Structure 1
Amino acid sequence: MKYGEHLFRREGTQPPQRPTTATQAANAPHATPAIVPSTARTSSSAPPVDAVPGKSDEPGGSRLIVGPNIKLKGVEIDDCDTLVVEGRVEATMNSRAIQIAEQGAFSGKVDIDVAEIRGTFNGEMTARKRLVIHGTGRVSGKIRYGKVLVQEGGELTGDISVLGESPPDLLRSA
């Protein structure tokens, strides 16, 4: 198998066999096989995350996947509908959604609609609509959110507040 062939083949299928002799080539069918596009990329170590249905699955929706063992450092991520972090990312992001897989880690600043965290986030986050922290998720830093869901085992620490609410006035006169 050539390098990269496995990236475009469905699991459990074999590459087409090529004729090795002139006789086999003459008798080989000449029809072009149908190409069936794969609708989703899954990783065996991280189940697919469906926190942000819709736009990233539509034509034109953009998705950046930082795979396991990949480190992306010192970048600005814009115009990306969904960032999927399976490796390590140190960045600033203004986008629609972030999904951090169980083994993934993000540090930096994000301004997004929806965050789904199974791994680790450290930094400044504004999740305008929803922040979901799964049982394996760890979120720390300056965190602002519209709505939050923390599953049993998930951790949320730092300067935390709901968007639109002012912090309590602890210095009120009596």
Structure 2
Amino acid sequence: MPVKPEPPPPAPEPAPASGGGPGFAQAVDAPAPQQAPATPAAGERGAYSPFVSPTPPSTGSETSTRPSMNTPFSTSPAPGTAPGAALKSDIPRRVVDIPGTPPKRTTPSGDSATPATEMRKLIVGRDISLSGEIAACDVLVVEGTVEAKLRDGRIVEIADTGLFKGSVEIDDADIGGRFEGDITVRGTLRVRATGKIQGNIRYGTLEVENGGQLSGTVEVLTGIAAKAPAPSPAPVYSPAPALADSGLVD
């Protein structure tokens, strides 16, 4: 009789993992990870591998991942503004007045007045009387009554209601009222139709309207006398004393 071969023994079942229970899945062996090809050493030339990526250079600084803390004392600038803009104060600066310095005078247009071009002007209004000596006045306007001596002036204007009594030395004069005294005008003497001058009159140029009156001594100044200062007196030379006889005999 032929002999039947024996069946192979059954394979042993794997033991369950520890901690297993109902629904516990057995661990499956994961495939072995693929090894990256070795990089060539320094100084050796190797083939380029697509699996090797260059290492980015280190920047030397790491960004802090600490969360920012908002406190009642911390301020953050408004969006769209520079960091330094949050430190500006809205309080206007105060102008400090230094003691001993005169304040600047401004004209109606807002520009500061320049003392070099500003003319010193004195106006004597109607029903006002003034007597004395007037000095360092560029422009004198008389609408009332003035009894004075004017020196170092430039222009005199006497309105139709004005009266001036005294002496005047001036560059230009415009007489519309009355003048009594001595008047010397180095430039132009203008007499209005309502003007009247009585006294000693000296002028460089005369303009008289129809109706103006002049009475007294009238003298015309020459160009040299009107502009040039008074000449200085000539020096006086005394003769040298005669030498006395020395008494020497030859």
Shared fold per TM-score greater than 0.5: yes
Quote the offset at 1:37 in angstroms.
3.1
Between Structure 1 and Structure 2, how many residues are aligned?
112
Correspondent of 2:140 among 83, 87, 90: 83
Partner Cα distance (2:145, 2:182) in 1: 16
Task: Identify unmatched segments of 5+ residues in structure 1.
Answer: 1-34, 39-57, 167-174
Partner Cα distance (2:192, 2:134) in 1: 24
Give the match's secondary structure for 2:123: strand
Counterpart of 1:9 in structure 2 is none
Counterpart of 1:123 in structure 2 is 181
Counterpart of 1:14 in structure 2 is none
Letter in 1 for 2:155: A
CA RMSD of aligned residues (A): 2.2
Letter in 1 for 2:144: G
- 1:72 equivalent to 2:143? Answer no
Letter in 2 for 1:89: V
Letter in 1 for 2:195: G
- 1:62 equivalent to 2:120? Answer yes
Counterpart of 2:209 in structure 1 is 151
Quote the offset at 1:76 in angstroms.
1.1
Quote the offset at 1:78 in angstroms.
1.1
Letter in 1 for 2:137: C
TM-score (norm 1): 0.60
Distance 1:36 1:78, change over 3 A: closer
Task: Identify unmatched segments of 5+ residues in structure 2.
Answer: 1-105, 110-115, 226-250
- 1:162 equivalent to 2:220? Answer yes
Counterpart of 1:37 in structure 2 is 108
1:3-42 pair list within 5 angstroms: 37=108
Counterpart of 2:165 in structure 1 is 107
Partner Cα distance (1:59, 1:103) in 2: 30
Relative to total residues, which structure has the larger strand share, 1 or 2? 1
Partner Cα distance (1:112, 1:87) in 2: 19
Letter in 2 for 1:112: I
Identity of aligned residues (%): 46
Letter in 1 for 2:182: E
**Larger C-alpha radius of gyration, 1 or 2?**
2
Letter in 2 for 1:77: I
TM-score (norm 2): 0.42
Partner Cα distance (2:220, 2:162) in 1: 25
